[in-house]
Amino acid sequence: MSETRCVSFPNQDGHLLHGILHEPDHATARGVCVLLLSPGIKGRVGPHRLYLKISARLVLLGFHVLRFDYYGLGDSEGELSERALADMYNSIQAGRYVDDTVAAMDWMQETLGIRRFVGSGLCGGSISALVTAEIDTRIECLLGMGLPTALEGGPENWARILTKHQIVSLRGKYFGKLTDPKSLMRFLSGKSSYQVIWRIIKQWFSDRKATRDAPPQPAKSDIDRTNPRFASAFMAMLESARPMILFFAGADRLRYQFSENFEGHHEARIRDYKHLYEVHLIPDANHVFSDPDWVAELLRVAERWLITRYPAQ
């Protein structure tokens, strides 16, 4: 019979972290724990109770599942000093909650003897799992959902992290406003996003020149806009032969940031490791996979992937 219970454990600074542990029936237990790490500033439940839906399915397959609140979030102790969301998100991508994740694994190992972990989570949860895996090999694989690769720039330099796909999508919107008097007044008053407009115009001229002068080639960014911590951690996983599956939503910019900003820029480095990671795109899905059909597809593929790697004992 599976069990769900409240748990608490301290991080290295003495803050008490609170969470929920889902324990499988002893007869089906695989001795592996899936860490569902908090997505950004959201708590251990996840948007639209996503983490509860995932936990309910995985525990039936014999996986332990631990989801908890990081310090300063949800029910856990501690306070946040950041006042801007972009600063908070960037600190998470830089490894803000690595120590908390290590503390969770230490507690699982000391309390239940579990030493094998699957790093997982939505958005900030998946990047926290990835950067923790770089320093702690107890995370044997990564099940990422909406994994971010580029730091949040904020409104003042959002244009810097736009992908080519986003630029093309925005082109029609901005060009369509040329005949709108209100948009023209906004442009002349200094309130428009001039860096974004400049990148759209620059890309438009580039595309026209490429079409005129040569057959179109796949676009590759000559500027690495990847979070430096991301590239290092991702390569550490590949070089240690730890597999990954990455779920992306079709309506989410993060898929294009990964393909353009990371894969495009690091093509030579990852060429020999492509067999170690799988990218699964769920068409039309939004960033939080809010539709039941999107969740069902995510679970179906994730279950098959996990069972292949962790056969029943």
pLDDT tens digits, one per residue of 284-310: 999 999 999 999 999 999 999 999 999
Assign 198 a pLDDT band (cuts: 50, 70, 90).
Answer: low
- Which residues are CB-neighbours of 99 under 8 A, at least 6 positions away? 11, 12, 13
What's the length of the chain? 313
Long-range contacts at 135-141 (CB < 8 A, ≥ 24 apart): 135/98, 135/102, 136/101, 136/102, 136/105, 137/240, 137/242, 138/105, 138/109, 139/35, 139/105, 139/242, 140/32, 140/116, 140/242, 141/242, 141/243, 141/244, 141/245, 141/309
pLDDT digits (tens, 9 = 90+) for 109-135: 999 999 999 999 999 999 999 999 999
User: What share of the chain has pLDDT > 90, as a percent?
Assistant: 62
What span, in angstroms and rounded, lies between the C-alpha atoms of 165 and 158?
Answer: 14
What span, in angstroms and rounded, lies between the C-alpha atoms of 223 and 260?
Answer: 10
4 versus 167: the higher-pLDDT residue is 4
pLDDT digits (tens, 9 = 90+) for 243-280: 999 999 998 989 988 998 889 888 999 999 999 999 99
- Structural domains in the chain, CATH included, are 3-150+226-309 (3.40.50.1820), 155-213 (no CATH)
Which pLDDT score, from 0 to 100, does residue 220 have? 47
Q: Which of 248, 236, 310 is nearest to 278 (CA)?
A: 248
For the chain, the C-alpha Rg in angstroms (whole number) is 21
What span, in angstroms and rounded, lies between the C-alpha atoms of 261 and 147?
Answer: 13
